């Protein structure tokens, strides 16, 4: 997630949601192995594929958008940091462009609890106090650095990535997903409508609520609740954040301005056993995708 309400005195009631059914896992035994026409979705398997994801991130974040690279990033034409070696890198590969690294057109970075421990921390701690999330039992997963090349941006491509994440979640028995999702620009006032809407309608319950660090905290209540046009607010939200909301997602308290990436961030949380049966089936259904069996095609 990096792209991101209840009255402040009222905690949103927890939804009564049944645990989602376990979908069939790929016969290859891989956490993610999906085909949709000429598109392939799987985890990076070697350094060349990780570097291809980093080059795509650089093109999107630093060249298309307005993030500021370090001199080393600019020299190499790749977005990278010290978290990359500890993450799984979900890839969308267009086989018409080439196999493996040559065909990478989308990516999402995934960091599980055990690997974050090896790194020493989660990425989000630079912006949020995530102690309530870390205290949650079971496996937790931080998502970030999501992007898709301009020629492949479509609802179908985003749904393909969601299906991959759903398979990954089930494979590793993830109980909680979270990460920083972004709105463009560093002026929170420009996002007064969607930020206020998120706070008043999707604030996380207290036991799962991250808080923006005091030194970076931006109050999301930039409009009175009664002034919010909910339809307009939803239209103003980036597709990624809307996707998390459809899965029953919540947001933490406070937005954060990220001057390097030139974004205004929110922390999004999805408790996987609260995901509605409807949406879980939507993102893991087998129509239009195939999960290849082991062995040669």
Strands 139-148 and 174-184 come out as parallel
- 275 pLDDT tier (thresholds 50, 70, 90): low
Q: Which residue has the higher pLDDT, 297 or 108?
A: 108
pLDDT surpasses 50 at 208: yes
Task: Tell whether 245 is covered by a domain.
Answer: yes
Give the closest residue to 166 by CA, choosing from 286, 37, 2. 286
At 289 the pLDDT is 36
Task: Report how many domains make up the chain.
Answer: 1
At 188 the pLDDT is 97
Task: Tell whether 56 is covered by a domain.
Answer: yes
Question: Average pLDDT of 34-62?
Answer: 96
Question: Average pLDDT of 32-47?
Answer: 94
Question: Average pLDDT of 88-93?
Answer: 97
Contact between 2 and 126 under an 8 Å Cβ cutoff? The reply is no
Task: Tell whether 227 is covered by a domain.
Answer: yes
Task: Tell whether 24 is covered by a domain.
Answer: no
At 223 the pLDDT is 97
Poorest-confidence range of 11-15, 32-36, 44-48, 206-210?
11-15
Mean pLDDT, the chain, rounded, equals 85
At 274 the pLDDT is 63
Contact residues for 49 (Cβ-Cβ < 8 A; gap 6+): 89, 91, 100, 101, 104
Contact between 40 and 14 under an 8 Å Cβ cutoff? The reply is no
pTM here is 0.84
Task: Tell whether 152 is covered by a domain.
Answer: yes
Q: Which residue range(s) make up the domain with 110?
A: 33-284
52-84 pLDDT tens trace = 999 999 999 999 998 999 999 999 999 999 999
DSSP lists the bridge partners of residue 90 as: 43, 108
At 19 the pLDDT is 38
Task: Tell whether 295 is covered by a domain.
Answer: no
At 293 the pLDDT is 29
Q: Which residue has the higher pLDDT, 55 or 162?
A: 55
Distance CA 169, CA 173 (A): 6
Question: Average pLDDT of 123-147?
Answer: 96
Most confident of 44-53, 166-175, 276-285: 44-53
Task: Tell whether 197 is covered by a domain.
Answer: yes
At 158 the pLDDT is 82
Buried b or exposed e, range 34-54, using 16+ CB within 10 angstroms? bbbeebbbbbbeeeebbbbbb
Distance CA 259, CA 236 (A): 21
- Domain with residue 207: its CATH number is 3.40.630.30
Task: Tell whether 141 is covered by a domain.
Answer: yes
pLDDT surpasses 70 at 209: yes
């Amino acid at each position: 997630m990096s792209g991101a309400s209840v009255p402040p005195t009222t905690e949103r009631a927890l939804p009564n949601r049944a645990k989602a059914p376990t979908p069939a896992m790929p016969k290859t035994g891989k956490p993610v192995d999906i085909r949709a026409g000429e598109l392939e979705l799987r985890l990076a398997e070697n350094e060349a594929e990780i570097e291809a994801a980093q080059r795509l991130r650089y093109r999107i974040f630093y060249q298309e958008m307005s993030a500021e690279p370090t001199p080393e990033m600019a020299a190499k034409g790749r977005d990278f940091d010290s978290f990359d070696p500890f993450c799984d890198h979900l890839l969308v590969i267009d086989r018409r462009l080439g196999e493996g690294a040559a065909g990478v057109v989308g990516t999402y970075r995934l960091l599980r609890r055990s690997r974050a421990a090896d790194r020493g921390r989660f990425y989000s701690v630079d912006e949020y106090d995530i102690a309530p999330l870390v205290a949650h039992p079971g496996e937790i997963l931080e998502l970030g650095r999501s992007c898709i090349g301009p020629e492949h941006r479509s609802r179908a491509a985003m749904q393909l990535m969601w299906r991959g994440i759903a398979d990954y979640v089930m494979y590793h028995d993830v109980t909680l997903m979270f990460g920083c999702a972004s709105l463009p620009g560093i002026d929170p006032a420009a996002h007064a409508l969607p930020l206020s809407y998120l706070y008043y309608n999707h604030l996380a319950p207290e036991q799962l609520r991250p808080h923006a660090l005091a030194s970076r905290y931006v109050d999301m209540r930039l409009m009175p609740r009664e002034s919010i046009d909910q339809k307009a607010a939803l239209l103003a939200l980036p597709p990624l954040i809307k996707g998390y909301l459809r899965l029953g997602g919540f947001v933490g308290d406070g937005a954060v301005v990220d001057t390097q990436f030139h974004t205004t961030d929110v922390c999004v949380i999805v408790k996987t056993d609260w995901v509605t049966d409807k949406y879980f089936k939507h993102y893991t259904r087998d129509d239009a995708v195939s999960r290849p069996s082991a062995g040669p095609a």
